[in-house]
Amino acid sequence: MGRKVVCKICKEKGDSDLFFFTTDEKGRRKYYCSESEYNDFLNQKEKRYKLLDYIAVEILKYEEGQIVPPVMTKKIQALNEFYDYEVLKECFKQNKESIHYWIKVKNFQSEYGMASYIMKIIEGSVNDVYNSWKHKKRVIERQETDKVNVDIMNQLENNTVKKNENDEGILAFLDEEDI
Ligand SMILES: [Zn+2]
């Protein structure tokens, strides 16, 4: 039995001998329920960063260091409860031209007004993007399953061939009279 520790991500309590941990540069340990929970957390963080970076640079054309308006990050957080960050990024990508058009036409007086308007556009098309994303993902998964099946088939074939070779190998050791 180790000591009682708390998962940094989901706050679940557990045993330090059973939990996954990382060690920081000062040698301090941080505990997590499992390595997969930790990796998933890092993956989400990375995807969120990429999305916000895309919005700042490509959509809002901000300078480096300028932050995405809080009204947007809040809405994105809420949308992320259902939609993957990848879906949201794709949604911004597909609406980039129209967002730029409306920013020009509407001539917003406040950043809040502009940000809210952009999020309305995103919310209006997120389900279409989600559906095609889901479909694409399913196709890729099916292709991967097919590939695994082909690999298994190939392996089975190779094994059969090898078996035949082995049989011949044994035959070669036998003299004519043994057969
Ligand atoms: Zn946890």
- For residue 64, what pLDDT band results from cuts at 50, 70 and 90? confident
Q: How far apart are the CA of 4 and the centre of ligand 1, in A?
A: 14
Question: What pLDDT score was predicted for residue 61?
Answer: 93
Span 4-34, pLDDT tens digits: 999 999 999 999 999 999 999 999 999 999 9
Taking the CA of residue 35 as centre, how many other CA atoms within 13 Å lie in the half-sphere pointing to its CB?
A: 0
What's the gap in Å between 71 CA and the centre of ligand 1? 29
- Quote the pLDDT of residue 13: 96
Q: pLDDT exceeding 90 applies to what percent of the chain?
A: 75
Q: How much distance in Å is there from the Cα of 63 to the middle of ligand 1?
A: 36
Looking at residues 119-148, what average pLDDT do you find?
A: 93
**Which of residues 76 and 64 earns the better pLDDT score?**
76
% the chain with pLDDT above 70: 89
- Both tokens of residue 58? 């490509």
Residue 89 CA to ligand 1 center (angstroms) comes to: 27
d(CA 46, CA 48): 5
Distances in whole angstroms, Cα of residue 89 to Cα of each of 20, 51, 126: 31, 5, 10
Ligand 1: distance of its center to the CA of 21 in Å? 11
The pTM for the full model equals 0.73
